[in-house]
Structure 1
């Protein structure tokens, strides 16, 4: 860059000097840490060798100097991301936990997206629950501010006898598992409309097996009606449900029928996620 001034230029002009290079921290990718990048390449390379690989092979395939590869491999083994067995390196427990967590997050995302699509298709809140290890788990709910989900005002696990999801799940269990659940969580009134005793509930659940649809009117929450249908995927008991205000109870059966049609289109994506 030329400088301003009044002094005449010398006879022997000095060529303009090149600008100093920008500081290293402003160059593209300057914030990347090389050792982390190299460690990641090693992990990725180990992952493709199902039967393990020696350090020399890993160094060659990643383009790393052997001393560098040895240093990083020792560090990764120490931290549990790799394990060494008879001179071969394999993925360690820490790396497998990362992979498992990532897969679980992906499954949860699939559930969330699927429920949201069903909610948009039927225009009411949609619920998804599973029965696992003797307990009911509400896995996902999709609703909107204009059509909110029912508030869990009474412990969902303890009130399976009162809500449609719980009744639908109990109906899918064998008699011994169903009675075991009711021994641990006895039938009790939640609202004035809740089923009164275990015997009445068990008779109702027998009828549910024939229709596959559970309809519950204000048994869990006053002012709300719900319908649930079983989700038969593998050995797990699962259920999907919808809810409506009681003054719209006439919409309940058409809504659940529409949901069933939508589920046939997207059941595969949710089926992959039922093990959450």
Structure 2
């Protein structure tokens, strides 16, 4: 775990979110471990489903997949869970590192209880739970509109940003993933690769690959290429006086042709085309 949360402030913020939205909210760390929630008790429909081992496993798998999706998107992600309830999740980022997730869930987002029960009963037919109890639990859930969920999701994203801004979630500065991220951000325009990073931190490639996959969702080389291309895009727009070969070099690409190839692959246009398009948009 690379994050430390101020649980007193965090619990107060979760309570405020629930007071406004009447939707349960939970915070997970970067390993998908639940840290806090408000209210603490999950909805009766979820309590019932989690008495079934298969349903409980599906619930945890669904949460993990949603976390990974939100991390890739770097913004809130709203989806319908395996049991037919609507949830939304927002990643917590500090720099390029994912340090946790905020999730609200157990939302019954249907036009009627009849419609919701038809879908949920079909999705949950293989679970060993009392169908009459499940039906009753569905009828007890308030009907929540899509517009309401969209608004709550926007608030969730704002809460995630506030958490990081107020540093309620603070990175453990001596943790290896943090040090590696700082090192990459300082040197990504230089001649660095997996080997040089491993040598600098005295770690093996396997350890580095695991850290990269968990924190970036991709390999180290791909992450460095992405940072370089983002810098190239910025220079192409902000510095029309620089020629493309100068920009390639400034971003850490020693091979001009390789830079052109990677840029096209990642943006679907050449650097020259990108500059022309971005300048038009800017003007």
Q: Does the alignment reach a TM-score above 0.5?
A: no
TM-score (norm 1): 0.37
Name the structure where helix makes up a greater proportion of residues.
Answer: 2
TM-score (norm 2): 0.36
- Which one has the largest radius of gyration? 1
